[in-house]
């Protein structure tokens, strides 16, 4: 691997900024100053930038407790991005695995492993996603029973001509519900409750597949997935 590419892979430097760092004498290879961006590194070469040893990292898989007011996009917009909360080199290379809207909180997976991301999001795998919703209007008694059945049968969302796949709705209280879906349509959960004549005041994703949000993570906090958790998908 070329030295400038190695620097861009292990730091926040772009290839052009890496070349400038080399020209300034900030990079050493095997404890000797190196200025040639095109130098090809050997497996046992030791590289440091500003006296900080560098090492290539493997593919990364993270869970984030997404707070309100954070968006799951690559481009910078009106709100902070999920990747802006991740303090890792080259965090911009991490991509959300599926998305949560700005107002939705809870489990968000991020990775730079495209194959793993595809396994999680592929419609063929019907990966379950569990949400807890706070509703604007009470849903109880016979109306709740009818809503539960309608969710099982499939709902026709506004602007679509194909009903949702069978899902599971459980009422936790008059205005608290847990909804499990197996697909990922645009704003699906909010639109499903709208199709039931209700409105979602707050929405929180609890789990994706067999992976549940770590209860020790406060909103905005994240951690790396264990090998066992990565292997769940």
Contact in structure between 194 and 164 (CB atoms under 8 Å): no
- Give dist(CA 99, CA 101) in Å, integer: 7
d(C-alpha 177, C-alpha 186), whole Å: 20
pLDDT at 56 (0 to 100): 78
The distance from CA 36 to its chain's CA centroid, rounded to whole angstroms, is 37
CB neighbour burial string for 163-181, b if at least 16 within 10 angstroms, e if fewer:
ebeebebebeeebebebbb
pLDDT of residue 123: 87
Please state which of the ranges 48-62, 198-212, 217-231 shows the lowest mean pLDDT. 48-62
Q: Indicate the pLDDT class of residue 125, thresholds 50, 70 and 90.
A: confident
Mean pLDDT computed over 59-88: 92
The answer to whether residues 114 and 221 belong to one domain is: yes
Tell me: do 139 and 202 sit in the same domain: yes
What pLDDT is stored for residue 58 in this prediction?
77
How far apart, in whole angstroms, are the C-alpha atoms of residue 209 and residue 80? 27
Point out the domain boundary residue: 16, 35, 54.
54
Q: Are residues 132 and 204 in the same domain?
A: yes
pLDDT at 202: 98
- Are residues 180 and 146 part of one domain? yes
46 and 84 together in one domain: no
Verify that 92 and 192 share a domain, yes or no: no
pLDDT given at position 76: 81
What average pLDDT does range 76-97 have in this prediction? 90
144 and 103 fall within a common domain = no
Residues 204 and 132 in one domain: yes
> How far apart are the C-alpha atoms of 87 and 120, rounded to whole Å?
24
- Specify the pLDDT at position 115: 93
Q: Using a pLDDT cut of 90, give the percent of the chain over it.
A: 85
44 is catalytic: no
Q: Which two tokens stand for residue 138?
A: 């009470």
Average pLDDT, the chain: 94
Contact between 217 and 65 under an 8 Å Cβ cutoff? The reply is yes
Residue 111 and residue 85 share a domain: yes
Residue 66, domain CATH: 3.30.70.580
Which of 14, 36, 54 is the last residue in one of the domains?
54
Note whether 117 and 132 are same-domain residues. no
Q: Which helix (H) or strand (E) holds 203?
A: strand 200-208
Give me the catalytic one of 45, 101, 113, 214: 101
Task: Residue 170: give the domain boundaries.
Answer: 128-208
- Number of folded domains in the chain? 3
Structure token digits, residue 26: 């900030």
Judged against a pLDDT cut of 90, whether residue 57 lies above it is answered with: no
CATH number of 185's domain: 3.30.70.1560
What is the rounded average pLDDT of the residues 22-36? 95
Instruction: Give the pLDDT of residue 60.
Output: 94
pLDDT of residue 134: 98
Say yes or no: 73 and 132 in one domain. no
The answer to whether residues 221 and 110 belong to one domain is yes
C-alpha to C-alpha distances, 61 to 68, 109, 114, 175, nearest whole angstrom: 22, 7, 11, 34
pLDDT digits 0-9 by tens, 153-198: 999 999 999 999 999 999 999 999 999 999 989 999 999 999 999 9
């Amino acid at each position: 691997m070329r030295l400038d590419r190695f620097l861009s892979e292990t730091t926040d430097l772009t290839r052009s900024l890496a070349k400038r760092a080399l020209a300034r004498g900030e990079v050493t290879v095997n404890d000797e100053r190196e200025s040639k961006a095109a130098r090809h590194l050997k497996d046992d070469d030791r590289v440091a930038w500003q006296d900080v040893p560098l090492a290539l990292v493997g593919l990364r898989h993270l869970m984030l407790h997404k707070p309100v007011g954070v968006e799951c996009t690559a481009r910078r917009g009106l709100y902070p991005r999920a990747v802006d909360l991740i303090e890792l080199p080259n965090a911009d290379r991490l991509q959300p695995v599926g998305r949560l809207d700005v107002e939705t909180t809870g489990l968000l997976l991020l990775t730079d492993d495209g194959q793993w991301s595809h396994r999680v999001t592929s419609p063929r795998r019907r990966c379950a996603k569990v949400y807890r919703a706070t509703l604007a209007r009470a849903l109880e008694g016979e109306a709740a029973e009818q809503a539960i059945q309608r969710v099982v049968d499939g709902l026709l969302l506004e602007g679509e001509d194909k009903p949702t796949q069978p899902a599971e709705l459980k009422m936790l209280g008059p205005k608290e519900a847990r909804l499990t879906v197996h697909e990922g349509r645009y704003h699906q959960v909010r639109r499903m409750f709208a199709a039931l004549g209700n409105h979602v005041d707050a929405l929180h994703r609890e789990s994706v597949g067999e992976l549940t949000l770590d209860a020790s993570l406060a909103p905005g906090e994240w951690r790396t997935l264990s090998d066992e958790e990565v292997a769940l998908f």
